[in-house]
Structure 1
């Protein structure tokens, strides 16, 4: 049984990665139904929480069906990170996660996210202060290092464990790599096999099929796998992986009726949480993902991103089911 503090996650948990502008409550709703064992909010700016910015505050919204769920924070100022951790604790998540891995310039160039990989003493100090300020388990998500010359994740893992984090997720790339090239899980395995380490170690990067999930579990010995981009528009991946682990069989790809059902659920939650106008607008980015690989879908997608009411979207989705009712849709 894998545990983060007292949170039981099963024998080999599958985690949904925190993704900016993706991992909001509507998206998490379909991923929870799809089999995710632990989910995280979008990463939240510590400065935004301290300033009481509406967008940052809204990201604190969590729902009982999502549990266990973690709130992920990022920032470069220790005082602000401590203050934001206290605010996040009051929102009553199951854990607090610290982002030391985001590679984008808007974050890293402000001394946050992956930038802390260039200042390990500050990273350790920041983490220690956050651990002290909350009664919740504190976890960390990070990368192998800043670049190929500074892959210091082994040192980072030991030092963060020593000051009290309860789990560590490692993306198998450096900051310089961004999301390019192939993720290197060999250092993740080295940390998992380090006799000094006793907290759960989760791997992240490039797992997009049940077969690869099984291979990485067996090759690298991690306690669980975090999945990000592969779940966008395909929340079924979690249950597909679990089924493959148990049976060795690959589930059939979701048919059109199931794709439409998930899209409708996502849309309904989006409108309910964000309001009609914003909920419909922000849902537009998801249609191409839910129907990726479907032949001749472009005319439907064009209409879906043009209409402005929930009823119109629902009517088009009903048309989609009818149009593809006699054909087999595969991913």
Structure 2
């Protein structure tokens, strides 16, 4: 069984950190569905040392989501060191350093993937965090700034050399963002260069993808955007790797049960108003591929409270039952007519 720091990782299938997504309510859902480790949204080191509410709120951790890592980012050694101490007080199992965010607002401050242009500074920042926390420190990054500067093997050596315990690699360059093909082929090269666990990230969308990702030699696999619409992917990937069989897709009842659990978590964490409002982005994922989904989604995104949502979902289940019955009757009628014509 692989270990990251002091934590044993049974299956090696992790939830990637995602801004505006991996808050406590979503992390709790993914842990419940099999994610081995979950990560917070990335948190500004400058925001933490200023005690900015937007940053400090992201430090919230619930016991049922462990093991959990707090991810921080920044470009100043002192701020990163101080924010590591602040983050440790929140009680995470790890601290992760974001060296891979590609968005302009982060990169222009020489944080996130901006550090891929300055490996000596990246080294100093990682070391400043390692030296100022008793927790295991991990790093998440990309292959390089662009295709002409693939530096991931050098980064891996730096990460290991300064005492971080694992490296997650989004297998694209900074200039790719989330576009273009991922390059998983760099994973074996990195594995040969270092002895710390290497975590693969990027375009892991299905249980088959998870299996193929492990075949690169990666010690663990991080799932990001695919989990937003399908948090069951952790459970399904584990089952597929162990048995070779992909489970049936979750039923309508399962989807609604998990969606409501997620929503209740949201209300607990954010309060009634913002809990309802900020959950709207998840409805399309929970309803994806279901009959009559567009119609019910339009109602759910304007529903004002939990009571209205529950009533609409109850009605939706009845509508789907009736829809399925009508579809079955149409098929039976069609086949009967075809048989009569053939006679």
TM-score, normalised via structure 1 length: 0.96
Give distance in 1, aligned partners of 2:209 and 2:268. 36
* Pairwise CA distance, 1:314: 1.5
* Pairwise CA distance, 1:227: 0.2
Give distance in 2, aligned partners of 1:193 and 1:237. 29
1:256–1:325 contact (8 Å) kept in structure 2: no
Give distance in 1, aligned partners of 2:141 and 2:154. 13
List per-residue Cα deviations over 1:215-272 (Å, max 9, x = no partner): 2212x11101000001002110001001001110110001110110111001101011
* Pairwise CA distance, 1:322: 2.0
Counterpart of 1:257? 253
Give distance in 2, aligned partners of 1:322 and 1:135. 54
1:201 aligns with 2:182: no
Give distance in 1, aligned partners of 2:170 and 2:84. 23
1:242 aligns with 2:241: no
Counterpart of 2:297? 301
Counterpart of 2:214? 217
Counterpart of 1:142? 141
Structure 1, unaligned stretches of length 5 or more? Answer: none
- Which of the two has higher C-alpha Rg? 2
Counterpart of 2:164? 165
Counterpart of 2:84? 85
Which has the larger helix fraction? 2
Instruction: Say which SS state the counterpart of residue 252 (structure 1) adopts.
Output: coil
Counterpart of 2:7? 7
Counterpart of 1:289? 285
TM-score, normalised via structure 2 length: 0.92
CA RMSD, aligned part only?
1.2
* Pairwise CA distance, 1:292: 1.2
Ranked by relative contact order (alpha carbons within 8 Å, sequence separation 6 or more), the top structure is 1
Counterpart of 1:192? 191
Counterpart of 2:16? 17
Count of aligned positions: 324
1:202–1:223 contact (8 Å) kept in structure 2: yes
Instruction: Say which SS state the counterpart of residue 150 (structure 1) adopts.
Output: coil
1:35 aligns with 2:29: no
Give distance in 1, aligned partners of 2:317 and 2:50. 46
Q: Which moved more, 1:87-96 or 1:208-217?
A: 208-217
List per-residue Cα deviations over 1:294-331 (Å, max 9, x = no partner): 23311211111112111111211222222223649xxx
Give distance in 2, aligned partners of 1:201 and 1:106. 28
* Pairwise CA distance, 1:293: 1.8
Counterpart of 1:180? 179
* Pairwise CA distance, 1:47: 1.0
